[in-house]
Amino acid sequence: MPVALYILGSVAVVSLVSLTGIFAISLRHERLMKGLAFLIPLAVGALLGDAFFHLIPEAFVEAKNPATASFLLLLGVVSFFFLEKFLRWHHHSERLLPNPAAPHNEQKHLGPLILISDGIHNFIDGVIIGVSYLAGIEIGIATTLAVLLHEIPQEIGDFGVLLFAGYGKTKALFYNFLSALTALAGAILVLLVGSLPESLLQGVVPFAAGVFIYIASSDLVPELHKNGRGKSVFPEIAGIGIGVLAMYLLLFLE
């Protein structure tokens, strides 16, 4: 079988993981809202675990200049700060329009933010899978398995964030799937050029880590603090812990 079919088939399977939120479509609204109390902290754990266990170590191991890697990581944080500023301003401008029937949702900006960051991450996954298969079929299969396991908790968490941002269940599922398709773009790019310039990949990885840290720390963690009820503490601790643990255990599969 041609290597291209292995690459495209593996990326297609990984992209389908974004549809894991499909189970939520059949749930009642009340039960779904209770599930968000777990899904949001799960996303926090998965994003931070991915950044600190995978992306940042890889960035500094491969970096010829650690200061450059640090700068790109910081650039990911700062650039998404300004992106969020723009999205908040745009959403505020929309609310000033005379439409009293429009829902008041202060978290609407989180939707585009998580979709953009997840698109960057999925693009990197597609590149990594493609490059791994070019190095060997066995290596490619092992890498695909690691990416697949890595995506499950993150995609479930992302789906929860989209619901929290006011997306309907079907719309959240659809946009999450579209974001996952950037992995296909990354794989096709590898097939077209045979590989990627090492400097480009080294730049994307720390930037993505900065983005994940910003979203988890600046957007999602403050939302957990807004819920002051004692009953919410244990689901939050469990969600963050499971997300972090899942990312840590993947280190033994790489």
Question: How confident is the model over 22-76, as pLDDT tens digits?
Answer: 665 556 656 656 666 777 788 788 878 888 988 888 888 878 889 999 999 999 8
> Do residues 53 and 247 touch, judged by C-beta distance below 8 A?
yes
CA angle 80, 53, 62 (to 5 degrees): 80
Residues 6 or more apart in contact with residue 157 via CB below 8 angstroms: 39, 40, 42, 43, 44, 45, 46, 47, 243
- Domain range for 200: 3-22+29-94+105-253
What's the rounded mean pLDDT across residues 66-90?
Answer: 83
Residues 6 or more apart in contact with residue 23 via CB below 8 angstroms: none
Residue 10 lies in a domain: yes
Which structure tokens are listed for 80? 């998404």
> DSSP alpha helices (H): ranges in 29-107?
29-50, 56-62, 66-95
pLDDT of residue 231: 66
Among 29-38, 101-110, 181-190, 193-202, which range has the highest average pLDDT? 181-190
pLDDT of residue 24: 59
Residue 218 lies in a domain: yes
Residue 189 lies in a domain: yes
**3-class DSSP assignment, residue 167:** coil
> Do residues 6 and 140 touch, judged by C-beta distance below 8 A?
yes
What's the rounded mean pLDDT across residues 3-21?
Answer: 84
Residue 99 lies in a domain: no
Residue 100 lies in a domain: no
CA distance linking residue 82 with residue 77, whole number of Å: 9
Residue 90 lies in a domain: yes
Into how many domains does the chain fold?
A: 1
- Calculate helix-pair angle for 110-135, 66-95, nearest 10 degrees: 140
Place of tokens 């995609």: 155
Residue 187 lies in a domain: yes
What's the rounded mean pLDDT across residues 166-176?
Answer: 80
Q: Which residues of 102-123 are buried (b: 16+ CB within 10 A; e: fewer)?
A: eeeeeebbbbbbbbbbbbbbbb
Length of the chain: 254
On whether the pTM is more than 0.75, the answer is no
